[in-house]
């Protein structure tokens, strides 16, 4: 509103006043005319009805009793009168006479309208027929008809019947004795009255519209004349901001002339002053620009440093309210900066220990740093905005300036991975200890039995030595698996390829498991494509076959079957090993290649197993350029697939080989 010119403001103000006045006048005029338009129509048809009644002799009208009188001289004379009046007044739709019977009902008597095909369709419609002598007339909707028994009258509201909708006027037809013997009635079409009212409205609105347009134009021209000096002053002031040589051209002796001369004097003084200061300002500006660039460069470096820090970091004032935060802390809390700044940490996030106890008061690191001026480092759990928690290492240090604590810097480091690694190490050590403990216990027990030398037979001693050997072998295999896992995770194992016979390697791996296959009465089905040479590391391929085949045998049903196939196409070699057996639960399929995992259904049936075989197999396959997957139906079968390019495994340089 402040930017709108004075002239426009005055114009708008006057226009509003004009609109309000015109609206009020228009309302009252419309209210009055709405009544007058209808009243004019009523007066007109009352006059026509009265004229009609005047020209009809009451005695002759009484001679007309029924439809047979339609050919009588009395009817023809009255009909001719009605017809002439109707032709002389083309706005009339119909003219007729009515008579009230002794029983109070009304009937048509004489009619000025004649039956004719108005629309030319060859059919006389009901609304094109003239009323007949003695035809009943329903007078109940027309209260003014009863008033017309004494004095001329007209309807206030439109009435409708089978001939259409009309506004009707009535006048009494009297005999020489002054008695009313009939009623003369005239009809004006409702649409004619409505059109008349509509045209009147249009005329009123056109007049008001003309005032709305013409009067503001006159006001605008008047304002343009009297405000011209003001416009020149405003224009001069605006130009002065860009050109100090600008001067106002007004020479009159009125107030505008005084303002113009005062402005011109002030402009001259300012121009002289500006000329002397311009060089100094330019010099200061260059100095300031240099300082600003230095500050902006420093701020950009500090902002880039804060943003690049992987830990969440905040700075607080001496009261513990956050004044600065980096994007990583916002990511930690899942809150935007505007919801963090100027709030205390305790109000936006909770801290808790390993047992879930909330840390509060001076036990919170930021409070301790501000209260005791000491750097504090502690491992706690940070609660996000969505109530989830994760472990963090918090370091809170006070900011001291002139021996006063003015705030603190607090760093939050996400230690989720460290916690997971610690937990994984604990689980790994626990599992390894458990797996080693069982064979060691067996070795110790059978060794003690042999040392007692209670006269055991040679066969029994051999069985004991066999048990000791099996337990020793289990320990060796477990240690080998642990070493292989270590080398895989460190990325130091090597793969050296050479032409290899896949079929022979597969048959050797099956042969190594022959005693277990025989014990479970498993049927082996083999299918090998003609693939004499495949570029592979025999040791790596043997590890793959041993792990997949040992699992297939271990988890196959008694009297079950195992299918082994090696096929090739134009691009790849596909190895498939399947068995009928326990299968893999669907809800655990995504964990089958993870370290130390064994499915629930096989853990109960086969207590032996480290959960490392498939993890090692997948690592070997993927590191050597292949891919491995499976499909399974629980309690039915499992199919493992290994696919390599036809070119074979890829070489990997490393310092150690898998065992």
Domain boundary among 164, 199, 234: 199
pLDDT at 307 over 70: no
Domain boundary among 150, 173, 199: 199
pLDDT at 573: 94
Average pLDDT over residues 475-499: 71
pLDDT in tens, 52-104: 888 888 888 888 887 788 888 888 888 888 888 888 888 788 888 888 888 88
Range with lowest mean pLDDT among 203-207, 390-394, 493-497: 203-207
Cα–Cα dist 597/587, whole Å: 13
Are 170 and 313 members of one domain?
A: no
pLDDT interval class at 10 (50, 70, 90): low
Give the structural domain span for 615.
Answer: 491-645
Residue 602 in domain: yes
Range with lowest mean pLDDT among 330-334, 442-446, 604-608, 618-622: 604-608
Most confident of 189-193, 373-377, 545-549, 637-641: 637-641
Cα first-last separation, the chain: 86
pLDDT in tens, 592-641: 888 777 777 776 665 566 677 888 888 889 888 999 999 999 889 999 99
Cα–Cα dist 234/227, whole Å: 11
pLDDT at 657: 62
pLDDT at 428 over 80: no
pLDDT interval class at 1 (50, 70, 90): very low
Residue 282 in domain: no
pLDDT at 2 over 50: no
pLDDT interval class at 565 (50, 70, 90): very high
Residue 525 in domain: yes
pLDDT at 441: 72
Domain boundary among 433, 455, 485: 485
pLDDT interval class at 387 (50, 70, 90): confident
Are 510 and 627 members of one domain?
A: yes
Residue 227 in domain: no
pLDDT at 639: 95
508-527 burial by CB neighbour count: b if 16+ within 10 A, else e? ebbeebeeebeeeebebeee
Residue 364 in domain: yes
Domain count, the chain: 4
pLDDT at 389: 87
Cα–Cα dist 284/81, whole Å: 108
| H-type alpha helices, 122-254 | 143-147, 190-226, 228-240
Residue 268 in domain: no
Are 479 and 611 members of one domain?
A: no
Element (DSSP H or E) covering residue 557: none
pLDDT at 564: 95
Burial (0-12, 13-18, 19+ Cβ within 10 Å), 323: exposed
CA atoms within 13 A on the CB side of 18: 18
Are 369 and 441 members of one domain?
A: no
Residue 601 in domain: yes
Average pLDDT over residues 34-61: 80
Nearest-10 Cα torsion for 608, 611, 615, 617: 10
| Higher per-residue confidence, 466 vs 396 | 396
Average pLDDT over residues 567-584: 91
Are 570 and 540 members of one domain?
A: yes
Q: Is the pTM of this model over 0.85?
A: no
CATH code for the domain of 456: 1.10.287.130
Are 424 and 387 members of one domain?
A: no
């Amino acid at each position: 509103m402040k930017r709108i010119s004075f002239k426009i403001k005055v114009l708008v103000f006057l226009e509003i006043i004009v609109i309000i006045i015109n609206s009020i006048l228009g309302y009252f005029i419309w209210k009055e005319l709405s009544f007058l338009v209808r009243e004019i129509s009523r007066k007109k048809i009352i006059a026509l009805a009265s004229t009609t009644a005047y020209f009809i002799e009451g005695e002759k009208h009484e001679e007309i009793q029924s439809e047979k009188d339609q050919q009588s001289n009395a009817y023809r004379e009255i009909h001719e009168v009605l017809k002439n009046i109707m032709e002389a007044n083309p706005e009339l739709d119909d003219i007729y006479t009515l008579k009230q019977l002794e029983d109070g009902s009304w009937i048509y008597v004489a009619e000025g309208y004649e039956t004719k095909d108005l629309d030319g369709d060859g059919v006389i419609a009901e609304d094109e027929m003239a009323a007949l002598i003695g035809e009943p007339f329903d007078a109940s909707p027309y209260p003014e008809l009863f008033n017309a028994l004494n004095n001329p009258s007209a309807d206030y509201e439109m009435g409708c019947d089978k001939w259409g909708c009309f506004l009707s006027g009535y006048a009494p037809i009297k005999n020489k004795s002054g008695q009313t013997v009939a009623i003369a009635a005239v009809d004006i079409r409702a649409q004619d009255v409505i059109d008349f009212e509509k045209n009147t409205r249009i005329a009123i609105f056109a007049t008001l519209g003309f005032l709305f347009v013409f009067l503001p134009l006159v006001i605008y021209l008047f304002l343009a004349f009297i405000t011209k000096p003001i416009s020149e002053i405003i224009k001069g002031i605006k130009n002065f901001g860009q050109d100090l040589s600008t001067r106002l051209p007004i020479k009159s002796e009125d107030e505008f002339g005084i303002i113009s001369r005062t402005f011109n004097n002030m402009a001259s003084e300012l121009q002289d002053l500006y000329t002397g200061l311009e060089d100094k300002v330019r010099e200061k500006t260059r100095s300031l620009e240099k300082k600003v660039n230095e500050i902006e460069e420093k701020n950009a470096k500090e902002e880039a440093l804060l943003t690049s820090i992987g830990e969440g970091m905040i700075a607080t004032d001496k009261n513990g309210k956050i004044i600065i935060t980096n994007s990583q802390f916002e990511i930690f809390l899942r809150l935007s900066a505007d919801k963090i700044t100027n709030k205390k940490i305790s109000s936006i996030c909770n801290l808790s220990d390993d047992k879930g106890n909330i840390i509060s008061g001076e036990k919170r690191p930021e409070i301790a740093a501000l209260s005791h001026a000491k750097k504090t480092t502690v491992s706690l759990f940070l609660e996000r905005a969505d109530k989830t928690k994760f472990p963090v290492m918090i370091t809170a240090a006070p900011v001291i300036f002139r021996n006063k604590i003015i705030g603190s810097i607090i760093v939050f480091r996400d230690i989720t991975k460290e916690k997971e690694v610690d937990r994984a190490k604990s689980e790994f050590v626990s599992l390894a200890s458990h797996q080693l403990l069982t064979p060691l216990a067996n070795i110790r027990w059978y060794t003690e039995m042999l040392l007692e030398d209670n006269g055991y037979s040679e066969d029994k001693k051999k069985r004991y030595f066999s048990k000791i050997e099996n337990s020793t072998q289990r320990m060796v295999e477990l240690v080998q698996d642990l070493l292989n896992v270590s080398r895989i995770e460190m990325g130091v194992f090597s793969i050296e390829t050479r032409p290899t016979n896949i079929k022979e390697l597969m048959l050797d791996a099956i042969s190594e498991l022959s005693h277990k296959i025989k014990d479970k009465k498993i049927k082996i089905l083999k299918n090998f494509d003609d693939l004499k040479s495949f570029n592979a590391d025999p040791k790596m391929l043997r590890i793959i076959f041993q792990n997949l085949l040992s699992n297939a045998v271990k988890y196959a049903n008694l009297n079950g079957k195992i299918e082994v196939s090696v096929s090739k196409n134009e691009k790849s070699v596909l190895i498939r090993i399947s068995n009928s057996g326990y299968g893999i639960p669907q809800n655990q399929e995504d964990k089958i290649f993870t370290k130390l995992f064994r499915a629930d259904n096989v853990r109960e049936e086969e207590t032996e197993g480290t959960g490392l075989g498939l993890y090692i197999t997948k690592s070997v396959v993927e590191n050597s350029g292949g891919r491995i997957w499976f499909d399974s139906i629980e309690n039915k079968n499992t199919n493992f697939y290994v696919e390599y390019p036809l070119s074979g495994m890829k070489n990997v340089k490393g310092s150690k080989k898998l065992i």
